[in-house]
Every structure is written in C-alpha cells, then in structure tokens.
Chain A
Amino acid sequence: MSETSAYQGATATPYEPGFGDYVQLLKPRVMSLVVFTALVGLLVAPVSLHPVEAFSAILFIALGAGASGALNMWWDADIDAVMKRTAKRPVPAGRVQAGEALAVGLGLSGISVVMLGLATNLAAAGLLAFTIFFYAVVYSMWLKRSTPQNIVIGGAAGAFPPMIGWVAATGSVSVEAILMFALIFMWTPPHFWALALFMKEDYHAAGVPMLTVTHGRKATRAHILAYTILLVPVALGAAVTQVGGPLTLAVAVVLNAGFVIGAVRLWRRDEVMAQADNYAAEKAFFRFSLLYLFLHFAAFLAEAALKSAGLGGW
C-alpha cells in the first residue's frame, strides 16, 4: 500500500511537521552564538582561508552545533516537556517525533564532521566531532541529570566553536585559541546560574540538579561571584595575546569591572530582596552576561580589522 493511499482512509488529518519544525530542532538561537564565536576564531587567526572555505567552515561548525542540539532535544524530551521555557520545543510539543530528532541529529553530525574535514582539515573535524559527543553524551546524557556541576563541565561544549574556527584556519591549537575557549568556559556558569536564580520553578519541576536546587540560592550567588572573579584573568589574558591589543584590553577592563560589580551585587542580595523587585538584578546580570560575551568577541574582531589597517594589536 502506498503512503498516499494509506492516508486516504484516515479520518483525522495528522499534524504534518513543516520545514521550520526541523529547523527548530537545531536550536537556531544557540547556533547564532556558535556562528559568531566560530567566525571570530576563524577571522582573527593568523592564516586566512579562501572565502568559500571560510563560509563552508562556519556553516558546518554551525550545522554540527545544530546536530548536537537535535540530539539533546531527543534525549531531554521528558524534562523539556516539564519546563515552561522548553515545553514548546518541537519534540515535547508533539510536532516532531523523538526518533526523527535522533535521525536528524545523527545525520547532520556525520555530514557536518565529514564536510568540515573536507573543507578545512582533519584536526578541525575531529574537534567538531568531539564537541558533538561532549554535548550530546557527556553533558546531556550524563552530567545534566547527575551533578550540580553540570553546566560547569558541560559549558565546554559551547566553548569549542572559536577554537574550531581557529583550528580550521591554522590546523593547530595555540594559546589564543585556548584562551578564547576558556573565556566562554568560565563565562558559562555565571550566565546559567543567573538564569537559574529567576527560573527556579522550572529546574525544580524537572528534577534537574541545578546548583539552586541542590545547594540553595545563597551558595549559587557565591558560586556566581567566584566564577566571575576567575573569569577576569582569562579575559585580560586573552587581551594581551596576539589576538588582543589596546582596544581589546580596554574593552576587557570595562566589561569585567561591570561583570564583577554585578556579581557582587547578586552575592549581597537574598531571596527577600530578589522577590521584592522580581529578580531585577538577576535578570540585569543575565542580560549583561550576553552583552559581555558579544562585546569581547566583537573586540577581537575589531582588533583584527585595525591590525589589517596598520593600527591596533601589540
């Protein structure tokens, strides 16, 4: 029996997932951050690629990130359905079958790794494969549900894209690539813990052992401050390497001062104060964290542009 004739006997028309539903599996908002940081990693590298190779590299790094997002949605469909923030994702909302998400994730993982290897080099492809494995298996399947340090270690997956961009251009890892990785790695915990402070019910309901759930909110505020302070030398260190310069250093000083002040402010607050103003400081800190990362990488890019114009750089 053909597929069409099978449908002729059906009384109710089933929901037909559109192309957009499958695109949603790839977490487009996360992909945009991946594209930006990978692009910066690739453009600030001392070796330049042909524009077609560079475009392909960024596209397949983004596709690899999207594939790991689809694998995450397949695995986490049960907890996504419980959390308000994620309940409308294609799998928990019933628009796409979990098996389809798995197939899309595995298929795109293979395509992205092979194509990145062909477009650039094997080291970049290997790093992308490791990133997908780390996010889908180490973070999603293992750490997320087992330890409150889940986002600390899992944050590495989000930190790899600029390093992959750098390796795609140069073929090897250097101190600049490691510091760009470390910048996102150290930034991730304060960013997500600030979110967890004002999305408390979500993680509670899903039983995800976020720090706010396991160690309480006071400990979370202390952790945010600790990681924000640890982030300072990483950010300033990156600014004094080959990818930095006076502009990057100035941006890093201002942004880190603002981030530390924000973290101290959160640390000094308690739940009564936070509830009184509906977590205004926590939300402001979360928004600033997004700006923090964007401006840091924008500064690397601006420094590279200045350098090519004979200005900037050390």
Chain B
Amino acid sequence: MSFRPEHELHKRRFSRNLGVGLTLAAFVALVFALTVVKVKRGDPMQGYDHVVQPSSVPQEEAQP
C-alpha cells in the first residue's frame, strides 16, 4: 500500500483544517468536562438492575 502524495489543495488548506480540528477537539473536551461536572453535581441517581433497593423506596411506602 502506498501513500498518495499530498495534493496542493491540502497544503493550502492545512492551517484552516488544523484550526478546525483543534477547535473541534477542544469542544469535545469541554462537553466531556461539563458532563462530568453536571453528573457529579446532579441529584443522586441509581440504575435499575432488577434488585430491590430499599434506599430507592419512598419513605411512606417503606413504613407500614
């Protein structure tokens, strides 16, 4: 397998493509960081795994 030589158009657009690429990478990193912060600061959550979890049962139902 051989690499095709870089086209002149790609050379001309290199700075623009690099800028767009880095911006998108930074955006992805920011969205990830925001997600981590939001999840950590959000209300406590538990995934449903078919096991009775007394902590998830409302107080009124738990008490006879």
Select B34's contact among A3, A4, A20, A56, beta carbons within 8 Å: A56
**A50-B9 contact given A18-B16, A59-B30, CB 8 Å threshold:** no
**A53-B34 contact given A7-B9, A13-B12, CB 8 Å threshold:** yes
Interface magnitude class on chain A: 10 to 19
- Residue on B with the closest CB to A49? B37
Does B15 lie at the interface of the complex (its beta carbon under 8 Å from any beta carbon of A)?
A: yes
**CA of A4 to CA of B7, assembled, Å:** 8
Residues of A within 8 A of B16 (CB): 16-19, 22
A52 adjacent to B37 (CB under 8 Å): yes
- Total interface residues on B, CB under 8 Å, equals 16
A4 adjacent to B9 (CB under 8 Å): yes
B18 adjacent to A50 (CB under 8 Å): no
Does B33 lie at the interface of the complex (its beta carbon under 8 Å from any beta carbon of A)?
A: yes
**CA of A118 to CA of B30, assembled, Å:** 12
**CA of A3 to CA of B41, assembled, Å:** 48
Q: Is the interface of B mostly helix, strand, loop or mixed?
A: helix
Does A119 lie at the interface of the complex (its beta carbon under 8 Å from any beta carbon of B)?
A: yes
A18 adjacent to B37 (CB under 8 Å): no
Does B13 lie at the interface of the complex (its beta carbon under 8 Å from any beta carbon of A)?
A: yes
Select A56's contact among B9, B30, B41, beta carbons within 8 Å: B30
Interface residues of A in 9-68 (CB under 8 A from B): 13, 16-20, 22, 50, 52-53, 55-56, 59
**A19-B18 contact given A4-B7, A13-B12, A50-B41, CB 8 Å threshold:** yes
Residues of B within 8 A of A118 (CB): 34
**CA of A256 to CA of B31, assembled, Å:** 42
B12 adjacent to A16 (CB under 8 Å): yes
Interface centre among A18, A55, A59, A118 (most CB of B within 10 A): A18
**CA of A168 to CA of B37, assembled, Å:** 16
Residues of B within 8 A of A55 (CB): 30
Residues of A within 8 A of B37 (CB): 50, 52-53
**CA of A101 to CA of B3, assembled, Å:** 35
Please name 12 further chain A to chain B contacts, defined as beta carbons within 8 Å, in addition to the given A19-B16, A19-B19, sorted by A numbering.
Answer: A4-B9, A13-B12, A16-B12, A16-B16, A18-B19, A20-B15, A22-B16, A52-B30, A52-B34, A52-B36, A52-B37, A53-B34
Kindly list the 7 A-B residue pairs having the minimum CB-CB distance in the complex, ordered from nearest. A19-B19, A16-B12, A52-B37, A19-B16, A52-B33, A18-B15, A4-B7
